[in-house]
Amino acid sequence: MNPMVGDGSLMNHKDHKDHKARTGRRQHCRTWLLRALCVLCGSFLAISASVVAQTTPSAGNAQNGRKLFAADGCYQCHGYEAQGATPTGPRLGPKPIAFAQFSKYVRQPTGQMPPYTSKVVPDAALADIYAFLQSLPLPPPADSIAALR
Ligand code: HEC
């Protein structure tokens, strides 16, 4: 018998046990690594969420937005209450589209609407107009209207 093979098989058996112990430990480590990664990803998501949150207006002034909506001429096509008018412009609120989409559209419209640069309507004014659109009341539910019951 080749002593190398004999030794080898003995060693292998022992190694196998060691290997089990080691993989066990390794799996343990992997679990911890995963947990650490989750924590890292979690905080990364939290950070990116707060970055995204900053791009949405938090301090928009709805009352000023209502004035700007008139002064900047939005009302001419969208109506004073942003309710929309079929031939001139769609309804914009309540529940406006996401702010990122909203501001992109005002700056770079793709249809018949004229573009508004940040010189004409600064970002702060846009945030106010957006706040105004968000502040618009929802229509009452149909079953709260006596004539519809
Ligand atoms: C000359 C008419 C006109 C004026 C003025 C105008 N819009 Fe529009 N707007 C439109 C029309 C028409 C559309 C529909 C898409 C298109 O053809 O561009 C539209 C679409 C939009 C949309 C996209 C709505 C959606 O659901 O995708 C937003 C947001 C918007 N307008 C905001 C504004 C704001 C804010 C102002 C004022 C700063 C303004 N518009 C002024 C005509 C106008």
- Confidence class of residue 4 from pLDDT cuts 50, 70 and 90? very low
CATH topology of domain 62-142: Cytochrome Bc1 Complex; Chain D, domain 2 (1.10.760)
Whether 114 lines ligand 1, by a CB cut-off of 6 Å, is yes
State how far the Cα of 91 lies from the Cα of 56, in Å rounded to an integer.
Answer: 21
- Single out the residue of 120, 119, 133, 109 nearest to residue 56, CA to CA: 133
pLDDT tens-digit map of 44-83: 444 444 444 444 545 799 999 999 999 999 999 999 999 9
pLDDT tens-digit map of 107-140: 999 999 999 999 999 999 999 999 999 999 998 9
State how far the Cα of 51 lies from the Cα of 103, in Å rounded to an integer.
Answer: 17
Q: Can you say how many angstroms the Cα of residue 53 is from the centroid of all Cα atoms in its chain?
A: 8
Residue-level pLDDT at 114: 97
Name which residue sits closest to atom 14 of ligand 1, judged by CA. 89
pTM strictly above 0.85:
no
Residue 81 alpha carbon to ligand 1 centre in Å: 13
Residue 91 alpha carbon to ligand 1 centre in Å: 9
Q: Where are the domains of the chain?
A: 1-55, 62-142
Whether 131 lines ligand 1, by a CB cut-off of 6 Å, is no
Residue-level pLDDT at 59: 77
- Tokens 């009452």 belong to which residue? 140
Whether 97 lines ligand 1, by a CB cut-off of 6 Å, is yes
Report yes or no: 130 and 96 within 8 Å, Cβ to Cβ: yes
More confident residue, 21 or 126: 126
